[in-house]
A and B are shown apart, each in its own frame.
Chain A
């Protein structure tokens, strides 16, 4: 990659808000003319990244390079970028024309030049003849078009779009997506697009950057991201997917839902725990239950327009979602197989919870800002220790007071026969929990860990 093709480079960007890290060591380069999307759930740091590029925020660490020039300390009004905001942020005291002309007038261009440029920009967003309209009399879609015209009229090197379609209705959004795509081709400038809508990202982008918890999870083309998610978060966030706990038996053979499957992955070692992702459309179904690699009983079947979406209980007691052009009635038993290239094997991010803790008495250990009973510990009080808790060793309780501490369910992953939850404590720490119970995102729970499930080890010396 020649450096001159790179228009924006983010180097080790970190940002904290009130002591909480919202961005952690972001490294990214963006090519000239690229349509790049920052994709992730709310609070993942995508908007913060955009605001750092625009200059509304300054990073705590790292820097933003624009055409090779360090932007540190350069205010937004001296950066050759323009932003389209989620809620348009038009100037209500100015009409459509003056909104679009705002930037040009500040540059001090002559009237006739401004006039020509404004009319061209309004034509681009199909708002010719709207010049004198009051911006507040326009519909949401029209207001967003004005916002886009106001930004592109300045011919920025990069156009930043912060969830520009989020406030529009579904039909309007689909139309605007096509228009944005066309506009990107016509203008030839770099677009950096922020969204939480994976479909939008897949439709529009040349490159998608998937973010979660302030970190980049994966960078790739829409096809890469969809077909080869690097971890269970990406797999779950992009499209529909079945995620199972599995074991890599050896190279090109993985075991999950009670069966061994040939796969295309290798290099994980032998008998290694892994996450396995199977897209619903990659499961091959046969009405003969003995055909295929495993069998299952259909529990529900919903018509989705192009295909049927079915849930099945497999012979090993896991739930699997499949999509097929054929419908199978609930109650029928079918045979299924998964071709090797339909199986995506991913390294597990973690196998158990590990916390830093401190022995507080012969019978208790402090970690996660709470005190836990462990029955007996050989360590002296005051010793720093490493605490390990299996995912299944954490109990979640309805009664907030009943546990040793409280938490909020942050994300949920269904793994075929159980749920894998991420629970945030009030201090912002995370506990990972395997459970059969159904919780909702945002539920407040009491967290309890039985003494036998708390393993204490000597702290690492690093």
Chain B
């Protein structure tokens, strides 16, 4: 009986968590204009999505989202990995305070990050658009990369760097041939994490995209929904995005569990 209760609790929780997404996924298979109406099973919306039956603005939004995601992930992975190596080699209070400073942006509400970046860009007179959004995304993704690289550095034997120098490697050779291969899994996880965070972001993008017509998927959908109902083609699009993110998460988890097993 107790087991049954625990089981049903779990299922209830999952239902609450996932029902909104499941509903969108279900209604992506019907062509009704208004969400909630069922006009029969159809793959029409999916074929519209892939046959260019959607507005150019949506396509551009998707392109922006993906390109900003990849670039932001790339830049923040480079910055974050180097920063992690630096922080790792600090000592005492310096290490503690920098680690703490790295944690704050992650806890800071997006809306505040967005507004402060907006004010910053206005203050320095930057023209807001693609570049400012990209910079904003790099700034909030980097701490997560640091966080995912750090444990790999900590797992390393503290003497391995010295061992490499001892065997004749210059500091940069030691970094490339010994340190980097060991923290590589953390770097990859950091990249994937940064990419998902970037395509996921709404609040920060909204405040930094300016008024030159730049839209990412999230801001486009928001604007679209306010104009008078969601464009029906967004339903299959959201379903696809959800499945993609799910896939990425599964990949990260499998990688991590495999690595922990290897380390044991």
Contact = CB atoms under 8 A, between A and B. Distances in A.
B228 interface: no
A43 B167 CA distance: 26
Contacts of A89: 157, 159-160, 162-163
A154 B170 CA distance: 16
B64 interface: no
B178 interface: yes
Given A81-B166, A91-B182, A93-B181, 13 more contacts: A54-B166, A76-B165, A77-B165, A77-B166, A77-B168, A85-B163, A89-B159, A89-B163, A91-B163, A92-B182, A103-B167, A106-B168, A150-B167
A12 to B, nearest CB: 25
A58 to B, nearest CB: 13
A93 B263 CA distance: 11
Interface SS, B side: helix
A102 interface: yes
B169 interface: yes
A144 to B, nearest CB: 13
Interface residues of B, number: 19
Report the contact-size class of chain A (Cβ under 8 Å from the partner). Answer: 20 to 34
16 contacts: A54-B166, A56-B165, A75-B165, A77-B165, A89-B163, A90-B157, A90-B160, A91-B160, A91-B178, A92-B182, A93-B182, A102-B169, A102-B177, A106-B173, A107-B168, A154-B167
Contact of B159 (A87, A93, A136): A87
A432 B217 CA distance: 75
Interface of B: 157, 159-160, 162-170, 173, 177-178, 181-182, 262-263
Nearest to B91: A18
Contacts of B177: 102
A151 B157 CA distance: 17
Interface in A80-137: 81-83, 85-93, 102-103, 106-107, 136
Contacts of A87: 157, 159
A381 B182 CA distance: 62
Contacts of B164: 91, 102
Contacts of A154: 167-168
A89 B166 CA distance: 11
A101 to B, nearest CB: 10
Given A92-B182, A93-B181, A77 B169 contact: yes
Interface of A: 54-56, 75-77, 81-83, 85-93, 102-103, 106-107, 136, 150-151, 154
Nearest to B262: A136
B178 A82 contact: no
Nearest to B163: A89
A227 B178 CA distance: 47
Given A87-B157, A87-B159, A89-B159, A76 B166 contact: yes
Contacts of A56: 162, 165
A83 B165 CA distance: 10
Contacts of A86: 159
Nearest to A103: B167
Nearest to B161: A89
A106 B174 CA distance: 10
B166 A83 contact: yes
Contacts of A103: 167-168
Contact of B163 (A75, A83, A106): A83
Contacts of B159: 85-87, 89
A150 B166 CA distance: 11
A134 to B, nearest CB: 9
B91 to A, nearest CB: 10
B181 to A, nearest CB: 4
Contacts of B181: 91, 93
A23 to B, nearest CB: 18
Nearest to A156: B166
Contacts of B165: 55-56, 75-77
A101 B139 CA distance: 41
Contacts of B173: 106
Nearest to A86: B159
A82 B173 CA distance: 17
A82 B181 CA distance: 23
B33 to A, nearest CB: 56
Contacts of A77: 165-170
A440 B160 CA distance: 36
A382 B22 CA distance: 83
A135 to B, nearest CB: 11
Nearest to B157: A89
Contacts of A81: 166
Most chain A beta-carbon contacts within 10 A, residue among B160, B162, B166, B182: B166
Nearest to B264: A136
